């Protein structure tokens, strides 16, 4: 079959028909993960960042280039929109893209524009997500976007699809679409790439004169002013919106179409920002319409991971923390540190009043280790105890200490305090229910009893044990689950708002990736 890549002699395949693309995917899929980057072409650094992310996370990267007529109103720039397939192909080749899918409108069975939409089957996102922000001024636009994205996801059958946060409304609508239609794909959000001036990169920047480009940088500066006010304590939408307006008023050529503050996921307007808000704007420079946005966030996220013993919580949590630069709030290490201190001070473990007074005013510091396989660095009352708390002697006593109400109370208070600045991930039995009931994301990490027994038996086998009795392991795990769920102090309980993640059949890396996807989802 004719393929443009042969003509250009480069390492990227270019397909213009659905049949060609499908057979390419069928041949190459094998066990490989496929990443799709949907674009309208005229590629720039913003697109490159999506492509690079896809290349880092998947095995086969496909970029679609399609100027979707269904998302343009008749008055909009469908016919002027830059089309430069040859240049884009070269760029994709340089970036190591495996294949480009560049169909015609006819091939996609989508001739015409928004006005002819009624002649095709459409995917209609919820009204309340399209009646705000850009949707208010571009009727039909997001129906066009949702329809084409659904078609592309069906055609490519990718594992992951990459979208820019620059089009924040599009991103939220696509995430909702994937959820509502149960599409088996992970949507990955990528940060906004900007010029040095702060102007968000866009294929439409080509329409701006040099002076307009300079002036347009004021859009981001004005959003930053609002962010600074937010950080300083201003949380009322009207005031934050006014700050943007006042700052943009300095540029006479800028005609604001809208400035709105909405919830980043539901897109519902906010009158004030509790923890997170999306401040989004559309501005005309002449006939060129530019959009931009900024996420206002009180503090970095708090993530709570709970679940039964043996589900892999601590390994997974440690790795997620390392990958995202979060502090792993190792609550187990805190109990160990107190146990170490009690043992050092010569107090009898069972002397609860003495332990209680020792734990009053104790100071524990946790710091992220250099590598994910190293334990959290721990100091208690200024003494570094990272290694000392891992001895068999401490291990033998730690549950007796952790069962004491006074110890529990002090440490939970300390954990809450440590959590205040955010940027932490913690695991345990009651992190989401008791320690951080307001966590931004709660995950209940679990696996069937059989799976946990199998993993345990594998661990024991790796440690050299033979004659492992799998049915005994099953009974032990069931007994432990029962005990953990019925404890009076800190019982194991799934928070109502926790996402249940069942890890049967998943590798640690797959679980880590799923949690990172949830965290990122939650953060935009
Ligand atoms: P477009 O070609 O404009 O439809 O954009 C294709 C994808 O690239 C969309 O997911 C956009 O959100 C994303 N994108 C466009 N510009 C940027 C940017 N400056 N930074 C990050 N992503 C972007």
The answer, yes or no, to whether any atom of ligand 1 lies below 6 A from the CB of 144, is no
Give the SS3 label for residue 76: coil
What would the pLDDT profile of 195-252 be if each residue is shown by its tens digit?
A: 999 999 999 999 999 999 999 999 999 999 999 999 999 999 999 999 999 999 999 9
| C-alpha 253 – ligand 1 centre gap (Å) | 24
The answer, yes or no, to whether any atom of ligand 1 lies below 6 A from the CB of 174, is no
Q: Where are the beta strands (DSSP E) in 406-454?
A: 424-428, 441-446
Residue ranges of the chain whose pLDDT lies below 70: 1-10, 523-524
Q: What is the pLDDT of residue 1?
A: 43
The answer, yes or no, to whether any atom of ligand 1 lies below 6 A from the CB of 212, is no
The answer, yes or no, to whether any atom of ligand 1 lies below 6 A from the CB of 447, is no
The answer, yes or no, to whether any atom of ligand 1 lies below 6 A from the CB of 164, is yes
The answer, yes or no, to whether any atom of ligand 1 lies below 6 A from the CB of 434, is no
- Tokens 């200490």 sit at which residue? 401
What would the pLDDT profile of 324-348 be if each residue is shown by its tens digit?
A: 989 999 999 999 999 999 999 999 9
State the Cα torsion 234-237-241-243 to the nearest 10°: -20
- Could you tell me if 478 and 313 are in contact, meaning their C-beta atoms sit under 8 angstroms apart? no
| C-alpha 41 – ligand 1 centre gap (Å) | 10
The answer, yes or no, to whether any atom of ligand 1 lies below 6 A from the CB of 39, is yes
- Could you tell me if 58 and 185 are in contact, meaning their C-beta atoms sit under 8 angstroms apart? no
Ligand 1, pocket-test mutation among 164, 191, 223, most atoms within 8 A of CB: 164
Q: Indicate which residue's Cα is closest to atom 10 of ligand 1.
A: 163
Is 47 a residue of the active site? yes
What would the pLDDT profile of 57-88 be if each residue is shown by its tens digit?
A: 999 999 999 999 999 998 899 999 999 999 99
- Give the Cα separation of 173 and 175 in Å (integer): 5
Position in ligand 1 atom list of the atom nearest CA 37: 7
Position in ligand 1 atom list of the atom nearest CA 165: 12
Position in ligand 1 atom list of the atom nearest CA 44: 16
| C-alpha 78 – ligand 1 centre gap (Å) | 17
Position in ligand 1 atom list of the atom nearest CA 194: 19
Q: What is the pLDDT of residue 5?
A: 44
| C-alpha 69 – ligand 1 centre gap (Å) | 17
Q: What is the pLDDT of residue 7?
A: 46
Region class of 325: left (phi > 0), else alpha (psi between -120 and 50), else beta: left
- Give the Cα separation of 74 and 72 in Å (integer): 6
Concatenating the DSSP letter of every residue in 28-56 gives: HHTT--EEEEEE-SS--HHHHHHHHHHHH
Active-site choice (44, 47, 141, 154): 47
State the Cα torsion 453-458-463-464 to the nearest 10°: 110
Q: What is the pLDDT of residue 371?
A: 78
Position in ligand 1 atom list of the atom nearest CA 191: 21
| Sheet of 383-384, strands arranged across | 364-367, 377-380, 383-384
Q: Indicate which residue's Cα is closest to atom 13 of ligand 1.
A: 164
| C-alpha 92 – ligand 1 centre gap (Å) | 15
Give the SS3 label for residue 148: helix
């Amino acid at each position: 079959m004719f393929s443009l890549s042969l003509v250009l002699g480069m390492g990227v395949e270019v397909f213009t028909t659905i049949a060609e693309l499908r057979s390419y995917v069928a041949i190459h899929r094998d066990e490989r993960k496929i990443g799709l980057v949907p674009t309208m072409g005229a590629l720039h650094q913003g697109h490159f960042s999506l492509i690079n992310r896809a290349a880092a996370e998947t095995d086969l990267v496909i970029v679609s280039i399609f100027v979707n007529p269904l998302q343009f109103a008749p008055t909009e720039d469908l016919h002027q929109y830059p089309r430069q397939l040859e240049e884009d192909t070269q760029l994709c080749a340089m970036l190591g893209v495996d294949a480009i899918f560049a169909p015609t409108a006819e091939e996609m069975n989508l001739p015409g524009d928004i006005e002819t939409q009624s002649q095709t089957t459409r995917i209609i996102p919820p009204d309340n997500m399209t009646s705000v922000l850009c949707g208010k001024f571009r009727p039909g636009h997001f129906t066009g976007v949702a329809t084409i994205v659904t078609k592309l996801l069906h055609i490519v059958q990718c594992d992951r699809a990459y979208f820019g946060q620059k089009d924040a409304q599009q991103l939220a609508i696509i995430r909702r679409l994937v959820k509502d239609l149960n599409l088996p794909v992970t949507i990955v959000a990528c940060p906004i790439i900007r010029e040095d001036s702060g102007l968000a990169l866009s294929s439409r920047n080509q329409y701006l004169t040099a002076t307009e480009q300079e002036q347009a940088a004021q859009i981001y500066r004005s959003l930053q002013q609002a962010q600074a006010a937010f950080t300083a304590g201003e949380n009322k939408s009207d005031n934050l919106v006014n700050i943007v307006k006042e700052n943009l008023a300095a540029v006479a050529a800028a005609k604001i179409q809208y400035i709105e503050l909405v919830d980043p996921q539901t897109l519902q307007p906010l009158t004030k920002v509790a923890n997170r808000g999306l401040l989004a704007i559309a501005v005309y420079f002449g006939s060129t319409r530019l959009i931009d946005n900024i996420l206002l966030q009180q503090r970095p996220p708090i993530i709570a991971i709970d679940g039964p013993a043996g589900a892999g919580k601590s390994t997974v949590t440690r790795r997620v923390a390392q990958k995202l630069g979060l502090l792993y709030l190792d609550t187990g290490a805190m109990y160990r540190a107190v146990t170490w201190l009690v043992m050092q001070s010569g107090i009898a473990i069972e002397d609860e009043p003495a332990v209680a007074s020792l734990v009053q005013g104790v100071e524990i510091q946790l710091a992220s280790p250099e590598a994910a396989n190293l334990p959290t660095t721990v100091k208690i009352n200024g003494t570094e105890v990272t290694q000392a708390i891992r001895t068999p002697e401490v291990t033998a006593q730690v549950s007796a200490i952790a069962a004491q109400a006074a110890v529990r109370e002090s440490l939970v208070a300390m954990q809450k305090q440590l959590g205040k600045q955010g940027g932490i991930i913690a695991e345990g039995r009651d992190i989401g229910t008791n320690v951080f009931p307001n966590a931004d994301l709660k995950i209940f990490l679990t696996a069937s009893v059989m799976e946990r027994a199998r993993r345990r038996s594998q661990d024991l086998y790796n440690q050299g044990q033979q004659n492992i009795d799998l049915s005994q392991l099953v009974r032990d795990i069931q007994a432990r689950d029962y005990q953990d769920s019925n404890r009076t102090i800190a019982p194991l309980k799934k928070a109502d708002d926790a996402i249940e993640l069942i890890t049967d059949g998943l590798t640690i890396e797959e679980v880590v990736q799923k949690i990172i996807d949830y965290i990122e989802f939650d953060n935009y």
